[in-house]
Amino acid sequence: MQRRTFLQRSLSALPILALPLSGFSRFLPSGKAVVIRQGQTRFGVATPFRKVNPNNLVLSSQDTGGQLSAFWYDGFEQAGPSFHAHLGQDEVFYVIAGSYLFKVGEDQQVLNAGDLIFLPRTVPHTWIQLSERGQLFYLLQPAGKMEEFFLRLTELDGKGTPEEYAAMGKMAAIENVGPPLQREANPVLSETLRNGFIVRGASSRIGERFVTDGVSVADVKVSAADTGGEMSLFEYHGKTPGGPPLHVHPDQDELFFVLEGQYAFRCGEEEYELAPGDFIFLPRNIPHTFDQRSPEGRMLFGFQPAGEMEDFFRAMSELKGAPGPEEGARLFEKHGMKLVGS
């Protein structure tokens, strides 16, 4: 992938969409990028967990046709949710900072910064924050009614009746199985997970590490095979400034969450500067690219649906360097994308 600088100067991002409504907006996608800054929410509506831990919606089901939603969690408490199961959704957690104990069925594992866990639907699970502070980025696929669930939970403010909480769980297809985890000095850990999987930091789900430009690495964290082709998730470690050429995914939406470094994004005619903790969603069929501005950087990025991106990055990695213009165009076309310009 030929790396280059596509913006000549730093520009401020457009204001983030925040609608002054009592609940999540009946938003119709505009065909533009969605940019959410660290600490902000998709529609300006806060839904903190236990009133004090920000649990911010950054990608709405309304952005993705119900296929995907994403949240950023900032933990101030050593706490976690009840033991529960999502009857119709898979869930993915990436630990940004801190340490967490996850329970999946009868198995328990500790995750630290850089680790990811995939929790398959119908399997009871929960987690508890072990460190004093922690941060999580997590996705649900399909989105389901989790936005409405968190909104209703916030509205009830701990004062709801058993019937109201039961109705809320039924609406979101969540089945409570047991109480939350309690902090233990030495929790009993399993050797592996019998349901779901964990991908540790600086490693790949499929055992391959794709080098996209001769030096920068893209690790598969959730493979297309894990989701029936509905989505895939990667972690990018950019080891040199620059980015890909301007291109289009005709049939895929793409999302990025910045972990480290400084990035500039272009989507259509709009330009955005992103820093750690910022999120951007790029709708399908709109020309886009990014430019890493810092010497190094890291991002989570994903595709919905998954498409052939694993095969694309594998082919790029096999080149051992950036392709020429004609070879690059051929690779993009072969894997369902189209170059727009340099």
Residues 130, 115 contacting (CB under 8 angstroms)? no
pLDDT for residue 13: 27
Whether 224 shows a pLDDT value over 50: the answer reads yes
Which residue's structure tokens are 């999502």? 86
Q: How confident is the model at residue 30 (pLDDT cuts 50, 70, 90)?
A: low
What does the pLDDT look like over 155-172, one tens digit per residue? 999 999 999 999 999 999
Whether 1 shows a pLDDT value over 60: the answer reads no
What does the pLDDT look like over 280-325, one tens digit per residue? 999 999 999 999 999 999 999 999 999 999 999 999 999 877 777 8
Which of 274, 299, 339, 264 minimizes the C-alpha distance to 8? Answer: 264
Q: Report the amino acid identity of residue 84.
A: H
pLDDT for residue 12: 27
What does the pLDDT look like over 2-29, one tens digit per residue? 343 333 222 222 222 222 233 444 444 5
Task: Return d(Cα 268, Cα 63) in angstroms, integer.
Answer: 17
Q: How confident is the model at residue 133 (pLDDT cuts 50, 70, 90)?
A: very high
pLDDT for residue 281: 98
Q: Report the amino acid identity of residue 76.
A: F
In this prediction the pTM is 0.91
Which of 188, 192, 169, 92 minimizes the C-alpha distance to 136? Answer: 92
